[in-house]
């Protein structure tokens, strides 16, 4: 677990991995774009 939030607080996520996961969610009615690729950082393993 890299971050723990209530569902209602997900827009306030701070960890880059959590932000990356949220950015991969499709948005209904939006143009389709390639999904972002996360750059793995050594500090994520901590």
Place of tokens 């950082």: 41
At 39 the pLDDT is 78
Contact between residue 20 and residue 33 where contact means Cβ atoms under 8 Å apart: no
Residue numbers of the domain that contains 23 = 1-28+36-46
pLDDT tens, residue by residue, 1-46: 789 999 999 999 998 888 888 888 877 888 877 777 777 778 777 6
At 46 the pLDDT is 62
At 43 the pLDDT is 76
pLDDT tens, residue by residue, 16-26: 888 888 888 87
pTM above threshold 0.85: no
Query: How big is the chain by its Cα radius of gyration, in Å?
Result: 12
User: Cα separation of 20 and 22, whole Å?
Assistant: 5
Domain count, the chain: 1
Neighbours of 25 (CB within 10 A): 8
């Amino acid at each position: 677990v890299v971050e723990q939030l209530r569902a209602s607080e997900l827009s306030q996520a701070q960890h880059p991995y959590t932000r990356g996961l949220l950015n991969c969610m499709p948005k209904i009615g939006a143009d389709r774009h390639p999904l972002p690729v996360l750059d793995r950082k050594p500090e994520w393993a901590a």
